[in-house]
Structure 1
Amino acid sequence: MNNEKPLLIEVVSDVVCPWCFIGQRRLARAIDLVRAEVPDFRHEIRWRPFFLNPDTPPAGEPYLPFLVQKFGSRAQVEGIWQRIREIGVPLGIDYRFEKIEVRANTLAAHRLIHWAQQHGDAAGLVEELFKAQFEQGENVGDPEVLARVAAACGHDRASVLAYLGSGEDAATVRQMERESRSWGVSSVPTFVFARQSGIQGAEEPRVLADGIRQAWAAMAG
């Protein structure tokens, strides 16, 4: 099999979704599985925005009180956190939910990812945003935090701050999010392969690998 074009993998996600961090790590492992079996496999990953909590105020709001109200009790929240922590361990994720103080509005983060993708691969930036949110407990809605993360990934801090302060691409990002929902995406992460097939949920690497292989084979005709 020798496809001329790489397989487009679009990942619909939100940087404040803990399952999206898991999905990102599992996707990387799935791609390794496919490469081991399909030597000529090539792919391109593009990140698409999703607003997990579209009603989040622009400045954010307290994190834990929101979760307690959503899930009914602190005990319920702690149980969910523990389950996610256990799943994250073998993937190398060190969830520190207790550090998170702000339920962030993620429009600026999605704009930053969109901006980065205009300049190349945004995988490293997405990884560091997940780490900032879930391992360091930072407010990923804060432009200063976003600029610092972007600078650590090789982007110019001043340029990032200027971009985030401009409001540029806000309408584009919102339209992309609406478009993803129009495809039937209702939860994240969702992985879309060549706009022809997809998998919803942070499935195990072997499940994602099966979907990738099938999409790659379909491209060959």
Structure 2
Amino acid sequence: MPHVDITVISDAICPWCFIGKRHLDLALAELPEEFRVSVAWHPFELNPDMPAEGLSRRDYRTAKFGSWERSRALDAQVEAAAEQAGIQIHHERMTRTPNTFDAHRLIWLAGEHGVQSAVVSALFRRYFVEGEDIGDSAVLASAARDGGLADIDIPAFLASDQGRAEVKAGLDEARRLGVSGVPTFIFNGTTGLSGAQPPEALRQAILEAAGRG
């Protein structure tokens, strides 16, 4: 029975990671029934120096890209790609660019409970569809419930040190691997693809990792 381990290095505020997850889900749906695939989500911070409370999205992106008009043009490109993938991104609903360290801690916790993919999806939905601030503990708690962690006291978890060392280790590992952009997909610990690859490219990479390509 073919088995492939997929590591996805991602950030919860990366639109191409949201699109990449959609493409990965489509690729997995097209695999032969006998395939067994495990997917683990590892952390990356697009904005490692972001203040813990985040920043105004408009102010941050205006400074980053030189003008709000340039930021909006880039947003339009992302929205078009998302629509082509069958999902929606509503940049007009976003007011904050959050710090994602606690979101990565939540993703780590979800992995410990076997619901990582569902929590990743919930975070993407909260940020890109609803425009919510996923640096906010109440929003993270709501996303956790959506993803299957309803029985865990998420505010208490976030107030603790749980997951901090693990997320920092994951961020260090991404740097060690030379990851500079996300999403990055790693198959069976060796071969990798970067960017929001189309579903067929991901499917082919999975087949090759399983010796079926």
Q: TM-score, normalised by structure 2?
A: 0.95
**Matched ranges for 1:32-181 at <5 A:** 32-33=29-30, 35=31, 38-156=32-150, 159-181=153-175
Query: Gaps (5+ residues) in structure 1?
Result: none
**Residue of structure 2 equivalent to 1:190:** 184
Task: Output the aligned Cα RMSD.
Answer: 1.6
* Higher mean C-alpha deviation, range 38-47 or range 149-158: 149-158
Cα deviation, 1:166-220, whole Å, max 9, x if unaligned, reads 12121210111111221121110000101011101111111111111111117x9
1:17 correspondence with 2:4? no
Structure 1 residue 133: deviation in Å? Answer: 0.6
Q: Is the 8 A contact 1:150 1:157 kept in 2?
A: no
Deviations 1:4-51 (A, max 9, x none): xx3110110000001100000001111223x1xx34211000000001
The DSSP-based 3-state class of the residue aligned with 1:176 is helix
The answer to whether the 8 A contact 1:148-1:157 is kept is no
Structure 1 segments, 4+ long, off by >4 Å, are none
Question: 1:121-143: CA deviations, max 9, x gaps?
Answer: 31111111001111111110111
Equivalent position amino acid for 2:26 in 1: R
Tell me if 1:209 matches 2:212.
no
Letter of the aligned partner of 2:86 in structure 1?
Answer: G
Whether the 8 Å CA contact 2:137–2:158 is kept in 1: the answer is yes
- 8 Å CA contact retained: 1:147, 1:157: no
- Unaligned ranges ≥5, structure 2: none
SS of 2:211's equivalent? helix
Cα shift at 1:152 = 2.3
| Whole-Å separation in 2 of the counterparts to 1:21 and 1:152 | 17
What amino acid sits opposite 2:19 in the alignment? I
What is the CA–CA distance in structure 2 between the aligned matches of 1:111 and 1:52, rounded to whole Å?
Answer: 15
Using the alignment, how far apart are the partners of 2:125 and 2:151 within structure 1?
A: 19
Rounded to whole Å, the distance in 1 between the matches of 2:88 and 2:146 is 20
CA distance in 2, matches of 1:154, 1:55: 30
The 3-state SS of whatever aligns with 1:12 is: strand
Scaled by the length of structure 1, the TM-score of the pair is 0.91
- How far apart, CA to CA, are the structure 1 residues paired with 2:84 and 2:26? 12
Corresponding letter in the other structure for 2:138: E
Structure 2 distance, partners of 1:201, 1:94, is 18
Would the aligned equivalents of 1:16 and 1:130 in 2 still touch at CA under 8 Å? yes
Identity of aligned residues (%): 36
